[in-house]
Structure 1
Amino acid sequence: MNHDQEIAKERIAAELDRSRGRSNALTLRALDDEGLLAQHSPLMSPLVWDLAHVGNYEEQWLLRAAGGREALRPDIDGLYDAFENPRADRVTLPLLRPAEAEEYNARVRKEVLDTLETADIAPREPGAPGAGRSLLDAGFVYHMVIQHEHMHDETMLATHQLRRGAPVLLEDPDDVAPLRVPRQDEVLVPEGPFTMGTDDDPWAYDNERPARVVDLAAFWIDTRPVTNAAYQEFVEDGGYQSRRWWTRDGWEWCKGRDAVAPAFWQRDGHAWIRRRFGRQEIVPPDEPVQHVSFHEARAYATWAGKRLPTEAEWEKAARFDPATGRSHRYPWGDEEPEPRHANLGQRRLGPSPAGRHPDGASPLGVQQLIGDVWEWTSTTFTGYPGFAAFPYREYSEVFFDSGYKVLRGGSWATHPTAVRSTFRNWDHPVRRQIFSGFRCARDAEPV
């Protein structure tokens, strides 16, 4: 084994350990058996289901598919199949108890680390037969499993937000990070082509591929996400009572839910308060608004005389460098995220104030594109031209063209390994238990 593979395997082992430590902290270390087995919302699974599911997914892909090992627990595959069992039904299944799930996950992990020692995770040569299509190519299948567990960790955090009861998640004091509010509220993204998607990122999923050149007209985009204070102006102006700002589907959703503000907001006299992981607090005016649906984001944008950006516009604003013509992996370049760049990885239990992390700005001066809140776009989720499902259709393809809207950029709850400027998330336009916000865009006037 050469030195590069040694380094790559050390990174994989460390990231596997980090993801499992986080999963255990959100489940076994946070709640008792009753709390883990309970269904806190019909929108979400019991937390113990997520815990055993990540272990079963790891077993199926790293031990069976990539490692050639025999199944450890084939009897539980059906219980933890996300497509066979809707979330609302999972509480009725004969799930592993928390201690059993912990033991099973530990057994899987021990064998995974054994197989990792002899796995050939060298990158294939560009142009070689099957290049980019091997599970082990550049460690892809390990990266896939690591990201999958962190995605479920974010889902677990959404479950904790919906859970009623006393706070159980500890929060470190807010870090003192640079605060630099942009001098402009919006910037002009010039017309012209840029490279969207990727061909060579070893962590990228099938729906991020293949790379292609996209030519866009010039447009304006906000330099930061819409804040709670800005969104409150929409609320106070009767935004939820005026049909004119909403599409037909959006208005039906708004009236059907009797929505009057973002999820978890509540009026208290002249102020708005919010519930955040069991804590009641005044809504902080300078944070990006979160827990808003696509319908709410689009209504606000219409009220503001703007619109939501398309997915392509968001990605160009996030990664295109007009000085070089290059598309970078992140807004700030190609180096991996550090705390100075973005609020990621559950370092705090909410977004940072708008204007934090100026080192993470894009070359055009757009801030907080990575981290803090997932940002709704106007684009319906589908495959790029030339899309090929890999390694299974159920990750992306089965969701194409079904009305799901694309979200970009990750949130404060997203781990750095599970976000980049090409990463695509998607959800129903009615969803708002997720850590979702948005920024606005508008067309540029013809010169």
Structure 2
Amino acid sequence: MLVRLLCLTISLIFMASARADAASGIDQTEVTIGAFAEFVAATGFRTKAEESGGMVYEAGWVVKPDWNWRQPYGIASPPNEPAVHITFDEAMAYCDWRGQRLPNRDEWIRAGYTELRADPPASFQRGMTYVFPTGNSPNGANCLAECGTDLRPIAGKRDYSRYLDRGFGHAPAGQTKAGVNGLFDMGANVWEWAVMGKGSSQATMGGSWWYGADQMRSDYGATKPRDMAVVYIGFRCIAK
């Protein structure tokens, strides 16, 4: 019975992360551990971090042998948390398996900052471009600082600070304040891969729990080597 309930939970989480915003075509949430587990079960895929460890920044970049998408901080994490320690090409493989693709940088910015819904809630206005993915204020995002003292408790959020030199770690997907286009965590929580040409470095968008509000702005230009698997980089997919 317990196994059946666990499988049902993972399936529901997979469906939740696969649900795309109708206006932009991009997923409402970051791809979760549960969703990535479906991909691995179906394909036998094995990630770089599972082979050689994931990375975190301490006094410099450090490789942690037991850190990977299944256990981002070296311990097993719930299936509704974002899948991190995923390289750019691994993210592309997942999206392709799901019949989607990684968004390019311009698509990500359009979805994250410009309200496209025909009838958005009162806090957003159709056609308006906002400073942050949460609106004109970063309040409500899961960032290190400057994201407001009025943030409601994040359901299911664990404190991973004992494993980190900085910050508290990511929150479960879809549990922070919904932002522009009804999307979750386009600002902070984890950086997200986006396509930027065909080079060896690719765009990472939106900031993360490791940073403050400035990194959430659309003009903050961050990149990482495409083969890098990092504790605060995840991704989401967009319709082909």
Where on the TM-score scale, by shorter chain, does this alignment land: which range?
A: 0.5 to 0.7
Which residue does 2:201 correspond to in 1?
Answer: 404
The aligned runs of 1:80-159 (5 Å cut-off) are none
Change (3 A) 1:287 1:262: farther
**Aligned position for 1:435:** 232
The CA deviation at 1:281 is: 2.0
Q: Give the structure 2 partner of residue 297 of structure 1.
A: 91
| Alignment of structure 1 residues 5-404 onto 2, 5 Å | 185-189=19-23, 219-240=24-45, 263=54, 274=71, 276=73, 280-322=74-116, 323-335=125-137, 337-338=138-139, 341-345=140-144, 348-358=167-177, 360-362=178-180, 364-380=181-197, 402-404=199-201
Mapped to 1, the partners of 2:17 and 2:44 lie a distance apart of: 28
Higher helix share: 1
What TM-score do the two structures reach when normalised by structure 2?
Answer: 0.68
Name the Cα RMSD after superposition.
3.1
Deviation at 1:350, TM superposition (A): 1.6
How many positions carry a matched residue from both structures?
188
**8 Å CA contact retained: 1:240, 1:261:** no
Shift of 1:310: 1.0
Structure number with larger C-alpha Rg: 1
Could you list the runs of 5+ residues in structure 1 that have no partner in the other structure?
1-180, 190-218, 242-253, 381-400
183 and 232 in structure 1: CA distance in 2 versus 1, 3 angstrom threshold = closer
- Alignment-derived partner of residue 193 in structure 1: none
Q: Equivalent pairs: percent with the same residue?
A: 28
Letter in 1 for 2:103: P
2:29–2:236 CA contact under 8 A, matched in 1: yes
1:372 Cα deviation (Å)? 1.1
Q: Which has the higher contact order (CA 8 A, sep 6+)?
A: 2
With over 3 angstroms needed to count, the CA separation of the structure-2 counterparts of 1:291 and 1:184, relative to structure 1, is closer
Deviation at 1:224, TM superposition (A): 0.3
* Structure 1 length-normalised TM: 0.38
Change (3 A) 1:309 1:281: same
- Give the residue type in structure 2 aligned to 1:229: G
Q: Residues 285, 417 of structure 1: CA spacing in aligned structure 2 closer, same or farther, 3 A cutoff? A: same
Aligned residue identity for 1:372: N
The structure-2 alpha-carbon separation of the partners of 1:275 and 1:356, relative to structure 1 and needing over 3 Å to count, comes to: closer
Q: How far does residue 331 in structure 1 lie from its aligned partner after superposition?
A: 2.1
Verify the 8 A CA contact 1:235 1:261 in the aligned structure 2: no
